[in-house]
Amino acid sequence: MKLSREALLGAYRKMRMIRAFETKLGELVAAGKMGGFMHLYAGEEAVAVGVCTHLSEIDPVASTHRGHGHCIAKGVDVHGMMAELFGRATGLCKGKGGSMHIADVEKGMLGANGIVGAGIPLATGAGLTAKMKRTGGVAVAFFGDGATNQGAFHESLNMAANWKLPVLYVVENNGFGEFTPTEFVIPVKDIAVRADSYAMTSLIADGMDFFDVYEKAAEALDHCRSGKGPVLLECKTYRFAGHFVGDPLVYRSKEEAEDWIQNRDPLLNFETHAVEASLVDSDDLRRIDLEVEEELASAVEAAEAAPFPDLSEILTDVYVEAAR
């Protein structure tokens, strides 16, 4: 499936925005301007964008604690995201959600989630809704390798396969569950084989290669939309930063990280492939780089100037009636 030049530049813009957004967050946390745990998505951009490039607003996405990249790839407003991370009233969730609970239902982003694997059953339910209402949509669940050891993962896949739900399960296998190497806790080399237990189709993609993820996601989504049931797509990737900002990274070698960062960077891979194939020009990419930096600087400035939520708002959007 070929992408137009405009679509390719759009995909690069989203990957570049994810990288710049996460880099800026790291700087803001280090400077003491932003609090709370921050789990950065840098290095995994090709997965989110490679999948979400196929999606529209009728295709809901459930994210993870490392959810900024999924939000940006799904088209969520960067200004609203930044304000939310600053805890400001202009944030997507009025400053009450923060990093691990960003959501924008109008864009089909069901939300980030601080519980490992909790987005998987949410996407399964969204897939059931799509099937019953015949919306034509496909629900997508992003989750990490560690989440595939959760009961919610197996229960959801079993249900989705049995009912042939239109759900794409995307496991972002970045080699570590928090601080533990995947091979220490998962006995199979390819997590994708776990789909066999549920008679489910599975695919494996190079998560550092936008074009491979894009092609595999197209195949998977076509399968889901055709009524053939769910698909498990394993994307083998790598997070460039630690599990969270401030992670001492004592569980992986410097040499390992440098090899991935220097030789398998998804943005550099995209540029090399696209420019050598004469699909885009380097000048176009550099222009996008500058535009992204300007937009991000504007988002930070606006967020810092925005007000905090008023105390009177403390109980609004809380769905359980307050005790009297």
pLDDT digits (tens, 9 = 90+) for 35-54: 888 999 999 999 999 999 99
* Structure confidence at residue 154 (pLDDT): 97
Sequence-ordered strand ranges (E) for 85-146? 109-111, 139-144
Q: Please determine, for residue 322, whether its predicted confidence score (pLDDT) is greater than 60.
A: no
Quote the tokens at residue 188. 């199979």
Structural tokens at position 187: 């006995």
pLDDT at 23: 95
Query: 51 and 209 in contact (C-beta within 8 Å)?
Result: no
Helix or strand run (H / E) with residue 267: helix 266-276
Residue 323: predicted pLDDT: 56
Q: Which residue has the tokens 């809380």?
A: 318
pLDDT, one tens digit per residue, over 58-101 is: 999 999 999 999 999 999 999 999 999 999 999 999 999 999 99
Q: What would the mean pLDDT of 27-37 be, rounded to a whole number?
A: 89
Q: What was the pLDDT predicted at 180?
A: 86
What pLDDT was estimated at residue 324? Answer: 56
| DSSP notation for 287-311 | HHHHHHHHHHHHHHHHHHHSPPPPG
The whole-number pLDDT of residue 1 equals 65
Residue 176 confidence (pLDDT): 87
- Please compute the mean of the pLDDT values over residues 1-18 and round it to a whole number: 94
Q: For position 183, what pLDDT does the model report?
A: 86
For 173-202, the pLDDT digits (tens) are 998 888 888 888 899 999 999 999 999 999
pLDDT of residue 246: 83
pLDDT for residue 319 is more than 80: no
Structure tokens given for 23? 């880099």
Range 161-177 average pLDDT: 95
Extract the tokens encoding 81. Answer: 């995201």
The alpha carbon of residue 323 and the mean position of all alpha carbons in its chain are separated, in whole angstroms, by 36
Residue 226 tokens, joined: 């055709």
**Distance (Å, whole) CA 230 – CA 226:** 10
Percent residues over pLDDT 70 in the chain: 98
For range 237-245, the mean pLDDT: 90
**Mean pLDDT score across all residues of the chain:** 94
Q: What pLDDT was estimated at residue 39?
A: 92
pLDDT at position 54, please?
A: 97
Checking if the pLDDT of 21 tops 70, the result is yes
